[in-house]
Chains A and B, each alone.
Chain A
Amino acid sequence: MTKVKVLATVAFVAAGLGLFLALSAPPDALQRTYARIVHIHVPGAWLAFLAFGVTALGSIMWRLSKRPGWDRLAAASAEIGVLFTAVALLTGAIWGRPVWGVFFDWGDARMASTAVMFLVYLGYLALRRFAPSPAVAAARASILGIVAVVQVPLVYFSVNLFRTLHPTQSIRPDGVTMPGPMVVALLVNLAAFTLVYVALLTARYELAKREELNLAPEPVAGSVVVAPPGWNDA
């Protein structure tokens, strides 16, 4: 667990720095201080995309290798992805109320598609939770993990594909539409959120490994003598 503690400490420090930069960056000319929420909202959404991408990667690799580590990675990443999607939805709603006048605008393609993605991955977690065995959970969830990731590019490009209220990407190949201090704060927060993601992923992965060890039959004495079949059922 030392690795997790080190990662968590680094993530905590980076998040503190990100928060400081977000609060010290100049306010937006039109949205004033409401725009500061972008420093939580955008990294939250980006990390959700990354997390679901890792879930799909873990699912594909599990299907190819059948190694339990890939399934653990897919499951852990999906849980954290759902958390980050909730952060993005919640901060979007908090920003939307004063700027758009509503918490949730159904006419906005980005918000609606993000909500759908959130529900799909809640379903993914429920599928794992209610599977009759870990083997069935891994096999079935890997299929959903691969199918569901189709939504990530749809959500990302929804602001370009549909007429929407949501602002388009601020950092694009053809340039940056934000002032310098805001971009720096956004990138630092993105790095901090990535570290938080890595720390949470490592912790959840280790926890899943321990859970699996607890489910396995325990040795009676040392690692040489093990309980006879049926001993643990008595």
Chain B
Amino acid sequence: MIGIWPQIRALAAHELRIERAAQETSALVVPFALAALITIPMAVGLDQPSISRFGYPAFWAISLLFGMQITWRQASAGQPAVQDQIRLAGVDPAAGFAGRVLAHLLLVTGFMAATFVAMLFFYSPAPVKNWPAMAAAILLFAAGLSILATLMADLTTGFAVRVGLAPLLAAPLLLPLLFAAAQISETATNEIGSTDPRGILAWLLVLVLIVLIGAIAGVLSARSLEETIG
């Protein structure tokens, strides 16, 4: 009997191999997100101080919207045929969920890192004064997004309207994540806020809570979700 951790690693590697072959994230999601990043300054009105102010909010909004796209890519192992194969292989449903989340976490973190660099280049926002807080916010945001969006993607597996329904379910649940991350980045780029860690810690705690609630819900519901697939 293979342990739970090797199962998670194997499934995450499987998901990443599918992604490497399909290249949906690198060839579709990232270019489209960059296009969105460039569109916002045009809508703001080409005024550099305003564009700089919009840098971090634009980064979080684009990370949320396009990060969700990564979790329900066409090539994802969440498809019923692939789910059947995984089920026949005797993989624990909770390990299946955790494996998909781990793969999505790596992809979303990479995507957010690329978007962050592009945002710094295009928007020239206020420099980050508290890098550990900003890095923690990005990682926890990526984790929360990966967990909740994967759970919503699993909830809509087998639905004819999955492409439209999954974002409708995930987006409102992810809004508290967006709000908390935006508060941290605002404080981490602020001279006064960066020296007072209490405000940042409170919002980091909110992010940790969302990640924990999502992870518990995903693991506990994995078996019953698998029973309704196929």
Give the B-binding residues of A (Cβ under 8 A): 63, 116-117, 119-120, 122-124, 126-127, 130-132, 135-136, 139-140, 143-144, 146-148, 150, 154
Contact = CB atoms under 8 A, between A and B. Distances in A.
B13 interface: no
A136 B228 contact: yes
B150 to A, nearest CB: 13
B225 A130 contact: no
25 contacts: A63-B224, A116-B175, A119-B168, A120-B173, A122-B168, A123-B165, A123-B168, A126-B165, A126-B168, A127-B156, A130-B160, A130-B161, A130-B165, A132-B159, A135-B228, A139-B224, A139-B225, A140-B155, A140-B156, A143-B151, A143-B155, A144-B169, A147-B173, A147-B213, A148-B173
Interface in B200-225: 213, 217, 221, 224-225
A135 B165 CA distance: 18
B160 A132 contact: yes
3 nearest A-B pairs in the assembled complex, by CB-CB distance: A119-B172, A123-B169, A139-B228
Nearest to B159: A130
Contact of B176 (A116, A130, A140): A116
A147 B221 CA distance: 10
Contact of B221 (A123, A135, A143): A143
B169 A127 contact: yes
Given A139-B228, A143-B221, A147-B173, 17 more contacts: A116-B176, A117-B172, A119-B168, A120-B172, A120-B173, A123-B172, A126-B165, A127-B169, A130-B159, A132-B159, A132-B160, A136-B228, A139-B224, A140-B225, A140-B228, A147-B217, A148-B173
Interface in B159-216: 159-161, 165, 168-169, 171-173, 175-176, 213
Contacts of A131: 159
B152 to A, nearest CB: 8
Interface residues of B, number: 22
A interface majority secondary structure: helix
Given A116-B175, A123-B172, A127-B165, A143 B217 contact: yes
A177 B171 CA distance: 37
B158 interface: yes
Contacts of B171: 119
A138 B225 CA distance: 11
B189 to A, nearest CB: 20
A47 to B, nearest CB: 20
Contacts of B156: 127, 140
Nearest to A144: B155
Interface in B137-163: 151, 155-156, 158-161
A143 B214 CA distance: 11
Contacts of A147: 151, 173, 213, 217
A119 B172 CA distance: 6
B227 interface: yes
Contacts of A148: 173
A143 B225 contact: yes
A147 B214 CA distance: 8
Nearest to B157: A140
